[in-house]
Amino acid sequence: MEDAFVFAILTVNATVRVATPLILCAMAGLFSERSGVIDIGLEGKMLAAAFAAASVAALTGSVWVGLAGGIATAMCLALLHGFACITHNGNQVVSGLAINILASGLTVVLGIAWFHRGGDTPGLEATARFMPLALPMARAVADVPLVGTLYSRLISGHNLLVYVAFSAVPLVWWVVYRTRFGLRLRAVGENPKAVDTAGISVTWLRYRAVMICGVLTGIAGTYLSVAHNAGFAREMTAGQGYIALAALIFGKWRPWPAFGACLMFGLLDAIAIRLQGVHVPGIGEVPVQFIQALPYVLTVVLLAGFIGKAVAPKAIGVPYVKEN
Amino acid sequence: MAMAHAAARDVVTPEGAPPPAAIELRGIDKSFGAVHANNDVSMRIGAGTIHGIVGENGAGKSTLMSILYGFYRADAGEIFVAGKRIEIKSPHDAIAAGIGMVHQHFMLVDTFTVLENVMMGAESGPLLHASIQKARGELTRLADDYGLAVQADAIAGELPVGELQRVEILKALYRDARILILDEPTGVLTPQESTQLFRILAALKERGVTIILITHKLGEVMAVTDTVSVMRRGQVVADRVTRDTSKEELAELMVGRKVRPTSAPRRDVAGEAALTVEHLSLRDRLGVERIRDVSFAVNAGEIVGIAGVSGNGQSELLEVLAGIRPPTSGGFVVEGREVTSAAPCGPDDMRALGLAHVPEDRQRRGMVAPFSAAESAILGYECEAAYSRGLFLDTDAIAAHCSQLMERFDVRPPTPEIGSGKLSGGNQQKLILAREIDREPRILLVGQPTRGVDIGAIEFIHAQLIALRDRGCAILMVSVELDEIMALSDRILVMFEGRIVSEVAGRGADARELGLMMANAHADKRERLVS
Amino acid sequence: MNTGGQDLPRWIDIGLIPILNICMALLVSGVIILAIGEDPLEAVAIMVRGAFGYEEGIGYTLYYATNFIFTGLAVSVAFHAGLFNIGGEGQAYIGGLGVGLVLLAFDSVLPLAILAPLAILAAAIFGAAWAAVPAYLQAYRGSHVVITTIMFNFIASAVMVYLLVNVLINPGQMSPESRQFLPNGHLPFMHEVLAWFGIPFAPTPMNVTLIWALICCVGVWAYVWRSRWGYELRTVGHSEPAAVYAGIRPRRIIMVAMCISGGLAGFVGLNEIMGVQHRLLINFTAGYGFTGIAVSLMGRNHPFGVVMASLLFGALYQGGAELAFDVPTISRELVVTIQGLVILFSGALAYMSTPWITRLYRVLTAGRLAPAASEA
């Protein structure tokens, strides 16, 4: 019983750690896509931010400057995407793809050129990282059965960016559904003409959405290299940007369902390793690759309309051009 | 948003001088490339009146109002609101000046509630909470004042069209509009909903709101407006006080007196029915009835012209008969084959039955602009043996065929390699016609045969159609150009709101009479097609 | 994709603007090379030398180009039907699986002359099948083909890893690979073929699949521009209303186009598995699918352009390897960076230069041309 409980806590901890970048990227994608701009470049922005944050933190020794660097980098790529798609009405999928490939190459090129470590950045000291935080009274209540353990080992003890990610969800929900900006954001993704005829700039609205996307992916990337790990390693995002996109679609472009999907995908990842070699009655050994592929399979099933309908914002992917 | 109120109140008019017009347009000019949409348009609209702007499609009414609403910027001209000259650079400026617009195609977000749609863009602050309270209060007040009842929390996408329009009006009033423009408001309404709308407009007028009504329906104009301007081909051709004019006069002004090309000698005796339409009805995707219980026949060796203002179901009728859409109920018979919703027929099958189709939308449907003329010349017939050599297309045969067509139909320049999109409108149309007529079809469906075509080509195309008829083809022609209908048709059917409202003989048809029928304002509505 | 500049003559649209786009990509790359403290011009010289300067380099360039031709053709065919197939990576992977399965099953009983066409068929069928599901979902259920193909890339990776670790692995071996195929399951290398004719050539992975790639180019050209099915394909891609008018069924065309596209991508498996590696292994697609997108964009979706662009990218890959070897501070990933820039400038920003080019063109030709026919 005790073992099962400990196992559960360890698994949930792992889930939280894996889900954090997913949550941040999903929220980032939410802003962009709700405004009508497809963003498959979440992966590239996160990767670039991870590299920038780790490099800056290594060079300056300050984790905060590193965070700023990560956010700034992701923001640049986000503005590039905006420039191509919003100002030049370019193909949004191609732009996102280009950013991913560009980031993938550039991070390694610069990494090797500057640090000569085969693409990695120098290892970071604890002072230049976001380290696990102990929440108030965590040690005091540690011995309290159940609740104390939960508090001290599960809720407390994560680094700052984990808490940022989890609090981002209600914040994002509030912004999207309770503010003027959120109302207009949702409108411009469904019917940009309605927004234009109401006298509001479609372009500025979309640029703001894209910039918020940049900030959030910047934090996600920073988390990977400066909080979760102690430096940047090549291709460290390993497709998580795409899983975040899948979670966003799975959550039907809404904050809380997307958050749930991120947790679910995070859980799958945490379980995957632990399930290796374990026999499930009736099925035999569950291949780890099956669990790894599950997020993608589920997204396809959803898109095919078999688990309800995933209705994207109506005007997504279509550049807004005033017709004559 | 209270600016317009202030302007109205602060202007002091000297004793005896007429109050400044709510809207005055002077010399508005706007071109889109070669199309001169508004040609030196000037208009005065009195405060607190309902002013109608009538005209056929392409007359320039919508462009003019889009300029007033700031959606486009005029190339020249000035706008005065309540006597003050203002610059309207965007809808934002128009809204600030107290102008609101209810568009033909609604500017609503389907996933929002009515409340959210009304609020969006006119929120009272960065947080929605305050805006929601204010909006609810306002909506209740507006409902009481003007009879504009709506369910504030209903989802827009689930509401009927009539209620959506009320939401659009509310949007404008919520922004303190003192001038309300309605663009073809009754096109999507049932008669009952239209009556309701007019009651609302009357209530608004009583409160001093100025209303501009764009429409082509003369019955409405006569019933509702105080003054009316008639536009044709980008110009204002007349201004009238409604009670001093009549439907007939307006119809004549709308349609204009043009020189009629000499009509070809008509055939009194036509052959057997080649196409028989029986109780055909069509509902579109939104459930709106586009074709209502239409029945008629087209005989071999005759031209049947369908007259009517565009948007009354003629386009849909052609699409159904060509096999592009299946009917919802009823059907038609071609060469013994009955086509109904249970037994549909695709365009390739229709071609096999000897039916040819020159579509209304020549650029998007009739040809493929990036293709060469030779490739467009086999559109719909690409599978024929004549154009194949083994597994591949016989490019030489295709090019030769295209040259032949170009020569016979005087398409210029007669080079098969030229990009279809590079041909002028008239030559594109001639090529498409050539393609279809070359098949010597038993039935030809043709929509807007001379739209955007120059005079010389018009005469040529008309001659070809008549020659085809004389060879025994049954031709069904849809056109918004009344002269064309009158010049070519042996019989004329008039469509209005999806129904055939009258049939007249082509010979001796009267333009004024037809104009009234097209606006469903003719005296003797007992004239029905006897099938 | 975005269309613009229809007022410009064809040679500018097809020739000048793409070259401009590449130049911009290369310019930015040059800046990056400068930023890491190296000389861009010298870098270019090394790359050119590495790609074309000696036999082995040329061989490698052509070997890479072979793969790019297949994935480039794949993206082109789908593009002509109006679809964006990003699933080339996964389709190539599964195509290779098909090749591997055929060879593992029959390499002890059938001669090369029969194995080769069988492998071609398997590559095509497996690749097509992997594209068929996203195609069906797009055509009949409206699911966006871009998202589904991205997902299928990842699913393909998972499937292949599973199969190679658990099912097809050579017993007693650590690395997730199948056993080596027997010699009649190897496609001859080009240097072997040339040797038969007495022409010496340095050993490289370049093999006869290159010839098949060129045959596919001709085949795609003939299919898209010279057959009636290609006519219907292009009609759907340009204008769905016109296709419906002509009695063409867009859904069917979408299925066919994507399946052909997947099949073409599958031939990468032929090149890699039967031509070079001679066994099944993981990750042999190594980004070729994504390069195919760049190649297709650069080559304006025409087989001739695809071949040219494939050569360019092959040279980039080989030259990049040489550069990474010669200059320790520059890594192979520079090629990936350039690829990203090419996709950016040839794809998303393709028409960025159009407005000022149009203006320049008008200024330069004003007065030299007779006024265009003004009839409506």
Give the CATH number, domain containing residue B104: 3.40.50.300
| Alpha carbon of A303: minimum distance to chain C alpha carbons (Å) | 6
The answer to whether B113 and B129 are in contact (CB under 8 A) is: no
Bridge partners of residue B503, in order along the sequence: B493
A191:B108 CB<8 A: yes
**DSSP-based helix, strand, coil % in chain C, nearest 5:** 75, 0, 25
pLDDT for residue B266: 62
> Which of B350, B364, B452 comes nearest C242 by C-beta?
B364
> Which of A93, A116, A287 comes nearest C162 by C-beta?
A287
B121:A193 CB<8 A: no
Bridge partners of residue B355, in order along the sequence: B443
> Which of C231, C238, C252, C253 is most worth mutating to test chain B (most B CB atoms within 10 A of its CB)?
C231
Q: What is the mean pLDDT of chain B?
A: 86
Output the six-digit token pair for B93. 């400026």
Inside any domain, residue B176: yes
Rounded CA-CA distance C208/C115 in Å is 14
CA B249 to chain CA mean position, Å: 22
Helices (H) and strands (E) in chain A, counts: 13, 2
| Alpha carbon of B96: minimum distance to chain A alpha carbons (Å) | 9
> Which of B351, B388, B453 comes nearest C247 by C-beta?
B351
Rounded CA-CA distance A273/B35 in Å is 67
* Nearest-by-CA chain C residue for B396: C226
**Boundary residue ending a domain (B228, B255, B282):** B255
Q: What is the mean pLDDT of chain A?
A: 89
Rounded CA-CA distance C121/C129 in Å is 12
Tens digits of residue pLDDT in A231-269: 999 889 988 999 999 899 989 999 999 999 999 999 988
Output the six-digit token pair for C2. 């975005």
> Which of A249, A303, A320 is most worth mutating to test chain C (most C CB atoms within 10 A of its CB)?
A303
- Is B508 found in the same domain as B429? no
Tens digits of residue pLDDT in B141-192: 988 888 788 888 999 988 887 888 889 999 999 999 999 999 988 877 777 7
Pairing of strands B337-340, B329-334: antiparallel
Rounded CA-CA distance B384/B375 in Å is 13
DSSP secondary structure letter of residue A226: I
Tens digits of residue pLDDT in A270-319: 887 777 667 777 777 778 888 888 888 988 888 888 776 778 888 888 88
Q: Where are the domains of chain C?
A: 68-186+213-309
* Nearest-by-CA chain A residue for B157: A190
pLDDT for residue A323: 58
Tens digits of residue pLDDT in B381-406: 999 888 998 889 999 999 999 999 99
* Nearest-by-CA chain B residue for C224: B392
What amino acid is encoded at B323 in this protein?
G
| Alpha carbon of A208: minimum distance to chain C alpha carbons (Å) | 20
Q: Residue B530: how many CB atoms within 10 A of its CB?
A: 7
Tens digits of residue pLDDT in A44-67: 999 999 999 999 999 998 999 999
Rounded CA-CA distance B180/B50 in Å is 9
> Which of C159, C331, C343 comes nearest A112 by C-beta?
C331
Give the SS3 label for residue B486: helix
- pLDDT surpasses 80 at B20: no
* Nearest-by-CA chain C residue for A290: C158
Residue with tokens 């109006």: C82
Inside any domain, residue B17: no
A88 contacts in C (CB within 8 Å)?
348-349, 351-352
Query: Which position has the higher pLDDT, A224 or A135?
Result: A224
Q: Residue C312: how many CB atoms within 10 A of its CB?
A: 20
| Alpha carbon of B170: minimum distance to chain A alpha carbons (Å) | 13
**Boundary residue ending a domain (B423, B440, B457):** B440
Tens digits of residue pLDDT in B279-332: 999 998 877 889 999 999 999 999 999 998 777 899 999 999 999 999 999 999
C249 contacts in B (CB within 8 Å)?
346
pLDDT for residue B13: 41
> Which of B107, B134, B167 is most worth mutating to test chain A (most A CB atoms within 10 A of its CB)?
B107
Query: Which position has the higher pLDDT, B369 or B216?
Result: B369
The answer to whether C6 and B421 are in contact (CB under 8 A) is: yes
> Which of C37, C166, C348 comes nearest A98 by C-beta?
C348
Q: How confident is the model at residue A324 (pLDDT cuts 50, 70, 90)?
A: very low
Lowest-pLDDT range of B29-33, B242-246, C90-94, C114-118: B29-33
- pLDDT surpasses 70 at B258: no
- Is B323 found in the same domain as B181? no
What amino acid is encoded at A272 in this protein?
A
- Is B370 found in the same domain as B436? yes
pLDDT for residue A154: 81
- pLDDT surpasses 60 at B11: no
pLDDT for residue B356: 96
C238:B368 CB<8 A: yes
Give the SS3 label for residue B33: coil
C143:A102 CB<8 A: no
Q: How confident is the model at residue B7 (pLDDT cuts 50, 70, 90)?
A: very low
A178:B128 CB<8 A: yes
Output the six-digit token pair for B399. 């090019």
Residue with tokens 């499930």: A280
Write phi, then psi, for B430 (nearest 5 degrees).
-65, -40
Longest dimension (CA), chain B: 89
| Alpha carbon of B188: minimum distance to chain C alpha carbons (Å) | 24
| Alpha carbon of A195: minimum distance to chain B alpha carbons (Å) | 7
- Is B123 found in the same domain as B48? yes
B174 touches A at CB < 8 Å? no
- pLDDT surpasses 80 at B429: yes
Count of CB pairs separated by less than 8 Å, B with C: 80
- Is B204 found in the same domain as B65? yes
- pLDDT surpasses 70 at A1: no
| Alpha carbon of C9: minimum distance to chain B alpha carbons (Å) | 11
* Nearest-by-CA chain B residue for C223: B392
A178:B91 CB<8 A: no
The answer to whether B38 and B30 are in contact (CB under 8 A) is: yes
Query: What does the DSSP assignment read for B60-101?
Result: SHHHHHHHHTTSS--SEEEEEETTEEE---SHHHHHHTTEEE
> Which of B362, B365, B422 is most worth mutating to test chain C (most C CB atoms within 10 A of its CB)?
B365
Residue B239 structural domain: 3-12+22-255
Inside any domain, residue B359: no
pLDDT for residue C295: 92
| Partner chains of C (3+ C-beta pairs under 8 Å) | A, B
pLDDT for residue B508: 80
A319 contacts in C (CB within 8 Å)?
2
Enter the ipTM: 0.87
- Is B166 found in the same domain as B47? yes
Residues 6+ apart with CB under 8 A from C359: none
> What percent of chain B is predicted at pLDDT more than 90?
55
Rounded CA-CA distance C128/C147 in Å is 18
B107 touches A at CB < 8 Å? yes
Bridge partners of residue B338, in order along the sequence: B333
**Boundary residue ending a domain (B440, B472, B488):** B440
- Residue C366 burial by Cβ neighbours in a 10 Å radius (0-12, 13-18, 19+): exposed
* Nearest-by-CA chain B residue for A187: B109
pLDDT for residue B357: 96
The answer to whether B263 and B492 are in contact (CB under 8 A) is: no
C246:B424 CB<8 A: no
Query: Based on the structure, what is the number of domains in chain B?
Result: 3
- pLDDT surpasses 60 at B4: no
- Is B486 found in the same domain as B395? no
Count of CB pairs separated by less than 8 Å, A with C: 158
**Digitized pLDDT (tens) for each residue of chain C, 376 residues in all:** 333 444 567 677 667 777 888 888 989 999 999 988 889 899 989 999 999 999 999 999 999 999 999 999 999 999 999 999 999 999 999 999 999 999 999 989 999 999 999 999 999 999 999 999 999 999 998 888 888 999 999 999 999 999 999 888 888 888 889 999 999 899 999 999 999 999 999 999 999 999 999 999 999 999 999 999 999 999 999 999 999 999 999 999 999 999 999 999 999 999 999 999 999 999 999 889 999 998 998 888 999 999 999 999 999 999 989 988 888 888 888 989 998 998 899 888 877 877 778 788 888 887 565 444 433 3
Tens digits of residue pLDDT in B259-279: 445 555 566 666 888 999 999
* Nearest-by-CA chain C residue for B370: C238
Lowest-pLDDT range of A192-196, A320-324, C124-128, C190-194: A320-324
B32 touches A at CB < 8 Å? yes
Inside any domain, residue B465: yes
pLDDT for residue B284: 85
> Which of B323, B383, B453 comes nearest C376 by C-beta?
B453
C349:A90 CB<8 A: yes
Residues 6+ apart with CB under 8 A from C276: C63, C205, C207
pLDDT for residue B413: 87
